[in-house]
Amino acid sequence: MRAINLQLADIREIISSVLLAHLSYDACMRLAPGGSLSPEFVPTCDAVDDLEGVGGIIARMFHTKTLTNLGVVSLEEWAESIYQQWLVAGDRITFFTSGSTNEPKPATHDFGEYVQEVENLAVLFRDRKRIVCFVPRHHIYGFLFSILLPHVMGCEVRWEVPLPAPGLVRSLCDGDLMVAFPLLWGKLAEMGVHFHADVHGVTSTGPCPAKTLETVKANGLPLMYEIYGSSETGGVGYRTDPLGCYTLLDHWTRTDDDAVLARKTEDGGATECLLQDLLDWHGPATFTPRRRKDCAVQVAGVNVYPARVREALLDHPLVEKCAVRLMRSDEGTRLKAFIVPYGSGQDIDVLKLELQKWSKAHLSRYERPASWTFGKHIPVNGLGKERDW
């Protein structure tokens, strides 16, 4: 038996988290006001959108068989079935990326790698007495910090719904570690919420603006950790100064390739891991992310780079923000763009014509978006990461 292993309650919470992501907001507030579903809750097709698909996701996460009696088993019974299979053959867990290139992609790792990471994280947070998590447990970030880390630290954990309100902070106590994401930290900063206890914060899932971090610190948060990583790698490094360098977690070492790290293995060796970013190194274990590596998609058999198209559109003086993606299969085979114009008085029809002309002058025919969507904000998911539209 491993020193750290998943318990029945852990698996129940992860399944609960997946189910909550497929319930309506009203249903979540009614059924899980404290952030967790009751063990007696029976997920039915009427309550859960695409229950069969959800069952498949959970089976893929734990590498187990999909339940054949979905719709009649309780959450506790579902978790028990997964747990018994895990005890026999559980050694890998799969998480899914946020789907920045359309469909979420699976990222699978040995369970021991997740334990290795939280054992290093536990050193950073050794003085914390409780973890208060606002991140879904079925997200790798939430799983590491609110499922595994409490086991390693031997501390209490509390899950909360990420609603930015003053009461959220008032419920925190001395010694708490608040685990959240840039969108929630940003909302708390905008609201001017003050921290009145010895609470340390953690943020991940994407870059958090330095202004946000400076504001929450000015409002009483004594220490904030930014965790750099991804679903493909888990956590890679951390920093407490938004303008400083990241420090590698102890299980990583630098290689000669700026986009590749080596992960220590139990036998004293190492395995190489490809990063999603190129890194600028400032020493053997300190770095800053330079830029996202170019990821090509194919349009009519030709490689095009959505990041390059986005930069070209941002050069237009009337475009404030922009997102570019490959269309879903049901939409077509070209690129599509979401545009946030400067100001609120833009004539969208005129702007669309302007951008089509701009694209013709600055982009190849394969790079030109075939679909244009306009709005006040780039669409994001519950963690503040860009999503499809």
- Tell me if 67 sits within 8 A of 81, measured CB to CB: yes
Helices (H), 90-239: 111-124, 140-143, 149-153, 166-170, 182-191, 210-218
250 and 117 in contact (C-beta within 8 Å)? no
The domain spans of the chain are 1-89, 91-291, 297-374
Tell me, what's the pLDDT at 1?
A: 42
**How many CA atoms, within 13 angstroms, populate the side-chain half-sphere of residue 153?**
27
Helices (H), strands (E): how many in the chain?
A: 12, 19
In this structure, whether the domain defined by 91-291 belongs to CATH 3.40.50.12780 is answered with yes
Q: Which CATH architecture has domain 297-374?
A: 2-Layer Sandwich (3.30)
H, E, C per residue of 7-28: CHHHHHHHHHHHHHCCCCHHHH
Distance from C-alpha of 20 to C-alpha of 365, rounded to nearest angstrom: 42
Which H or E run includes 320?
strand 319-326
Do 91-291 and 297-374 come out as alike in CATH topology? Answer: no
Residue 343 CB partners (closer than 8 Å, separation 6+)? none
Question: Which of 205, 184, 78 has the alpha carbon at shortest distance from 142?
Answer: 205
| Mean per-residue pLDDT pooled into runs of 10, the chain (389 residues) | 84 95 87 89 90 93 91 95 93 78 75 94 96 94 96 94 78 95 91 93 90 95 94 92 95 88 88 85 91 70 82 93 88 91 86 93 90 92 82
Q: What is the pLDDT of residue 291?
A: 65
Reduced to 3 states (helix: H, G, I; strand: E, B; else coil), residue 193 is coil
**pLDDT score, position 359:** 94
59 to each of 8, 56, 275, how far by Cα in Å?
15, 5, 27
> How many Å is the Cα radius of gyration of the chain?
22
Contact status, residue 57 vs residue 17, Cβ threshold 8 Å = no
Sign of CA dihedral 283, 286, 291, 292: positive
pTM for this predicted structure: 0.79
Give just the sign of the alpha carbon dihedral 363, 369, 375, 377. negative
Burial class (CB in 10 A: 0-12, 13-18, 19+), 228: buried
